[in-house]
Structure 1
Amino acid sequence: MAPLSDSELFDSGHFVYTIHSVIPCESRQSFEDFQREMNEVANRFEGYRGQSISFQEKEDGQHVLATTRIVFEALDQCLHWLDSPQRRGLLHQAETLMNYRYQGTLEADSFDQWIQMRQPKKVPIWKVNLLVWLALYPSVMLLTVFGSSSLGRLPLPLNMLIGNLITVLLTGHFLVPWLSRLYGNWLHSQSLRLAWLGTVSVFVMQVVLLGLFSSLPGML
């Protein structure tokens, strides 16, 4: 399957998942070869529509930021690929053979389209971002608390790789869908009063979570 252009990616209405990787300049060709192999394997999975890759030089002149966007017809199909043994095997092979530091970050935009497609009216992006923020904070904190004795012992690149996978599955399968249903009225309400109440409730929940996690031993 040929790489997709940005216009094809974002005009498709499908689920777009974005991954950022920081790699040495000399590893760029190896990284592109690796992504082509990933594309060939992903093409065997249901709902896969393609990928696009862009590069941006870092300020140190020795690394580049590679932005990879993969497209699936639905969120669950994308999560099936992200958690597949085939993808994990390729990533392990890349870590072993390619000497670059992997940094994966989850973009809120990856969930924006999924929520938008399931709402009858257009949802303001700032509301979507608040829900993703509300989902990510407890996910990352729980992973930090319960994974310190296991993931914390791993090398940082592998720790980040596994940690991001767990966070994506937790937010994508459970928290984001649950919060989008819980805040369904708030997401597409035009009422200023309801907008304020919903927004305040998000911040109140974050303050409660902050107090809860701060009270745990060793957090301070």
Structure 2
Amino acid sequence: MDSSQTSEQSLSEYFEYHLTHRVDPLMREQFLDSQAQLQKMAMGYQGYISEDTPILVHEGGDILIFKTSLRFNNAENCLKWLESKERRDLLQLEEGKGYQFEGNTNAEGYARWLSRDLTKPSPVWKINLLVLVVLYPTVMIFTLLLKRPTYIDFPTWMLFGNFCSVAITGWFAVPWVSRIYQRWLEGKGTKKGQMIALMTIVAILFGTVELFRRFPVDIWF
């Protein structure tokens, strides 16, 4: 097996979940301590691979924004950890102190969910872009149509929302769209045809952004 095949295989051997954390500056040390506790808990779950140390990406005003990445051998084991009672209990305590977070999946993990009609591997950037054009409207529509009931805490609702988005995107939407863009994904056809396909994807992305911008701001909260 050559090195390119090994690299392509490794992309599909783990499931990566990205988290964005919004923290009150006064709670910085407590947040880092809670993340260390969560990491120790996660290590005891089946399929755990690794988790990055929180990276500070924004510091200003009354908010700190950190990013972390969590890796499991597959989506099922990752979801078992994300919905575990001990994780939920700890996050509920932190949520009461002003901590907020949101999560999203790594698009590379969707390579295995492309249509089986594809006859050759696709570049990662094409897979990422195709997933984005499907995942973005899925998340926005979910947010628009379903509001969090007062009896459901924020972490559980975020988990439910992400689970629905992953299910719709990975098991239905991505395979369907990949069949439409099969020639583009495989690099077949003329350069002009490849460029036109890329332009339609970009146009769809900008079109959906403009569409959702037309809704009143308060409808999203």
Same fold (TM over 0.5): yes
CA 1:59–1:173: 2 relative to 1, 3 Å = same
Give the drift of 1:44. 2.4
| TM-score (ref. length: structure 2) | 0.68
Tell me which of 172, 190, 208 is aligned to 1:178: 172
Structure 1 alignment gaps of length 5 or more: 1-9
- Which position in structure 1 is the counterpart of 2:108? 113
Amino acid across the alignment from 2:169: L
> For 1:186 and 1:202, how far apart are their aligned partners in 2?
17
- Which position in structure 1 is the counterpart of 2:67? 67
| 2:163 corresponds to 1:166 | no
CA 1:83–1:29: 2 relative to 1, 3 Å = same
Deviations 1:75-132 (A, max 9, x none): 2221222223332222112223xx23414253xxx33221236665143414423323
Contact 1:139 1:171 in 2 (8 A): yes
- Which position in structure 1 is the counterpart of 2:6? none
SS of the counterpart of 1:181? helix
> For 1:171 and 1:187, how far apart are their aligned partners in 2?
24
Contact 2:121 2:186 in 1 (8 A): no
Contact 1:16 1:72 in 2 (8 A): yes
- Which position in structure 2 is the counterpart of 1:79? 79
- Which position in structure 1 is the counterpart of 2:186? 189
Contact 1:135 1:176 in 2 (8 A): no
RMSD: 3.9
| Identical aligned residues as a percent | 14
> For 1:154 and 1:144, how far apart are their aligned partners in 2?
19
> For 1:58 and 1:139, how far apart are their aligned partners in 2?
24
> For 2:16 and 2:184, how far apart are their aligned partners in 1?
21
Contact 2:130 2:174 in 1 (8 A): no
The total of aligned residue pairs comes to 197
- Within 5 Å, give how 1:128-139 maps onto structure 2: 128-139=128-139
- Which position in structure 1 is the counterpart of 2:117? none
Amino acid across the alignment from 1:102: Q
SS of the counterpart of 1:46? coil
> For 1:164 and 1:64, how far apart are their aligned partners in 2?
20
Give the drift of 1:65. 1.9
| TM-score (ref. length: structure 1) | 0.68
- Which position in structure 1 is the counterpart of 2:102? 104
Contact 1:22 1:102 in 2 (8 A): yes
Contact 2:122 2:186 in 1 (8 A): no
Contact 1:19 1:67 in 2 (8 A): yes
Structure 2 alignment gaps of length 5 or more: 1-9, 115-119
> For 2:128 and 2:33, how far apart are their aligned partners in 1?
35
